[in-house]
């Protein structure tokens, strides 16, 4: 019995240290943001797929926890695509998306870091957003957000909490761009 306890502890530790991969949660827009966008009286726009992203080097997986666990993007395995699809979904929900619009938004995910932490989890995201109107770039700016949530030392609690908070962090990044006064002035009807 004494050895069984040691074996269980050893197996649990080995499993924790070996790491695992978890699929991230798909983005769902915040309805407060959608309503605020609807009230902003903006022109319709489209999201241009980024085929040249230097962000792809770190955009397939994100290390979470103590560096042994990975989160995979639910969108084609790419967090660059996660950003594009999330932005597109928010614009669609606000009735601001039109695939034939002459206003296009391009993005590039620059930073994509998650940490489950011991008691506080964090997400640090940054991206470049460009607005191009009739093939002329009219706006180009980087945005950075920091998001925190209550976490735990126990991986069984911390990892699901991290997965749940990633879409919230992405929402913050997108909203930082969409509600920038300069962006609203550029896109207003």
Domains of the chain plus CATH, in order, are 20-187 (3.40.50.10610)
pLDDT number for residue 12:
37
Strands 103-115, 120-133: pairing is: antiparallel
pLDDT number for residue 16:
40
50 by DSSP, 3-state: which? coil
CA gap 132, 104 in Å, rounded: 5
For each successive 10 residues of the chain (189 residues), what is the average pLDDT? 41 43 90 95 94 55 64 86 96 98 96 88 95 97 96 76 93 98 96
Tokens, residue 41: 């009286």
12 by DSSP, 3-state: which? helix
pLDDT number for residue 47:
98
**Angle, vertex CA 81, rays to CA 80 and CA 84, nearest 5:** 95
In this structure, the number of other CB atoms found within 10 A of the CB of residue 34 comes to 18
Q: Whole-model pTM?
A: 0.84
pLDDT number for residue 135:
94
pLDDT number for residue 129:
98
């Amino acid at each position: 019995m004494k050895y069984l306890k040691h074996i269980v502890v050893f197996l649990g530790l080995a499993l924790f240290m070996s790491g695992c991969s978890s699929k991230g949660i798909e983005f769902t827009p915040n309805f407060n943001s959608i309503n605020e966008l609807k009230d902003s009286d903006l022109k319709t726009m489209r999201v241009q797929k980024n085929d040249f992203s230097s962000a792809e080097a770190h955009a397939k997986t994100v290390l979470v926890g103590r560096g042994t666990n990975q989160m995979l993007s639910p969108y084609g395995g790419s967090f660059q695509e996660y950003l594009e699809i999330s932005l597109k979904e928010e614009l669609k929900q606000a009735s601001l998306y039109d695939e034939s619009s002459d206003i296009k938004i391009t993005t590039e995910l620059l930073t994509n870091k998650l940490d489950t932490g011991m008691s506080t989890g964090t997400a640090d995201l940054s991206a470049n957003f460009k607005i191009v109107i009739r093939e002329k770039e009219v706006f180009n700016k980087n945005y950075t957000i920091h998001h925190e949530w209550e976490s735990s030392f126990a991986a069984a609690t911390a990892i699901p909490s991290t997965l749940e908070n990633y879409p919230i962090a992405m929402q913050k990044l997108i909203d930082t761009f969409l509600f920038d006064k300069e962006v609203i002035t550029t896109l207003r009807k």
